[in-house]
Structure 1
């Protein structure tokens, strides 16, 4: 009897451990095949509800001052700058001092800089201005099988998917690495991308760089789904099975 129970324990542990293989778990398994490839980047395109920080400067600060928002003292924090920045309206516009309404939706920050600079010169306000535009509320949302789901801010125009996953503490053991879902709203449309992290092929696609307001969804494997979320780690299954069989073994004595 003991011999039979021990055999059952061994077989169950073997089956449980084989549910997830290295092929399902390891990132970028063909990295060498995709090395030395040229990288391409896509500029951020401004969307409604973005908050912009716009600085206009000139050799004479006095003449440039009217074109800058007076944000007051103590406004160095990101939260204060967001409150005092230019909120892009649902119509895709901002309103600047003196220049009034400017259409910005669908433009990159560098393009907006050119538009504002040209208006300042063409309308005779400044001779040689410098304009800087930045998005203050860059953020992405990551949900599902990561260690710390939530909303994360970033200061760059874009970050990599691996950066985003790293900020969330990496994927859990229950995550399906072959189908990471990326949701993005562009030009009034919602796009859904499916990314396989076990290969490096996706890294050459600029669409898979994380941008403002992206949502990343990491779906759980069948074991996690069937357990109703009770199993956080496949190793728990091994522990539970071992405990139950240990009890059976003691009773069989």
Structure 2
């Protein structure tokens, strides 16, 4: 009987590392929001317009009460000359050079780098009033994209036609995090005007909804770091499989000894 008690204690001692190695992780988002069914709160974070920088590809169109007068200021393809209809070729974008300058029809070299789209519209409109009676400028990004990599199901680079996307939407486009994604440390990498910034956000914390980095900027990189379990635990794989096999072997030896 003493031998049986001894073997049971030994078996418990062997199983303890396995039990504690399978620690629970919080896989939810915004888990500190509470249990209220409906919550309302003021939104403190506001989306900020991205700054135009070198390498941006922009579609800029100019309209006026007199379409004929506005035509020289557009890179256009005539679709039906007899009817006067025109269509804008999205491929004819304006590439912002390393000095923040674009080559604009008639106006020549115009610096818009370092400005928001709203500021650039005002700058171009002011220049165009020397030629047109009521110029209206429209600016769109042709290369507004974000990249999501790391522990997500579908890592990729995504074009964002709406020019507005937040972190959760980006993760959704990438198929969400895998179970090995470290939700406590999702990194957002941004390079702008020669400066690289890395923000670390915790998806478990509702505070990220008010973070200035919650809404992504053009060319942002979202990196989801793997948890340590991905390397040495991986949910009863690799090291844990070895541990389980060891436990099974030890338990088998104990049972054999008991049966003798």
- TM-score by length of structure 1 reads 0.81
SS across alignment from 1:206: coil
Task: Determine the structure 2 residue equivalent to 1:67.
Answer: 73
Distance (Å, rounded) in 2 between the aligned partners of 1:237 and 1:12: 15
Task: Determine the structure 1 residue equivalent to 2:230.
Answer: 224
Task: Determine the structure 1 residue equivalent to 2:32.
Answer: 30
Q: CA deviation at 1:244?
A: 3.5
Residues 49-198 of structure 1 aligned to structure 2 (within 5 Å): 49-71=55-77, 81=90, 83-121=91-129, 123=130, 125-198=131-204
2:188·2:213 contact (CA, 8 Å) conserved in 1?
A: no
After superposition, the CA RMSD in angstroms is 3.2
Deviations 1:105-134 (A, max 9, x none): 11111211111111111x2x1001111001
Q: Kindly tell me: are residues 243 and 71 of structure 1, through their superposed partners in 2, closer, same or farther at Cα, counting changes over 3 Å?
A: farther
Q: Comparing both structures, which one devotes a greater share of its residues to helix?
A: 1
SS across alignment from 1:171: coil
Q: CA deviation at 1:62?
A: 1.0
Distance (Å, rounded) in 2 between the aligned partners of 1:105 and 1:127: 26
1:16·1:238 contact (CA, 8 Å) conserved in 2?
A: no
Distance (Å, rounded) in 1 between the aligned partners of 2:171 and 2:147: 10
1:51·1:85 contact (CA, 8 Å) conserved in 2?
A: yes
1:44·1:158 contact (CA, 8 Å) conserved in 2?
A: no
Task: Determine the structure 2 residue equivalent to 1:14.
Answer: 19
Larger gyration radius, structure 1 or structure 2: 2
Task: Determine the structure 1 residue equivalent to 2:207.
Answer: 201
* Residue ranges of structure 2 left out of the alignment (5+ in a row): 80-86
Q: Kindly tell me: are residues 150 and 210 of structure 1, through their superposed partners in 2, closer, same or farther at Cα, counting changes over 3 Å?
A: same
1:5·1:245 contact (CA, 8 Å) conserved in 2?
A: no
Deviations 1:6-27 (A, max 9, x none): 8689656633432x323xx221
Task: Determine the structure 1 residue equivalent to 2:82.
Answer: none
Distance (Å, rounded) in 1 between the aligned partners of 2:239 and 2:171: 27
SS across alignment from 2:123: helix
* Residue ranges of structure 1 left out of the alignment (5+ in a row): none
- TM-score by length of structure 2 reads 0.79
Distance (Å, rounded) in 1 between the aligned partners of 2:184 and 2:40: 20
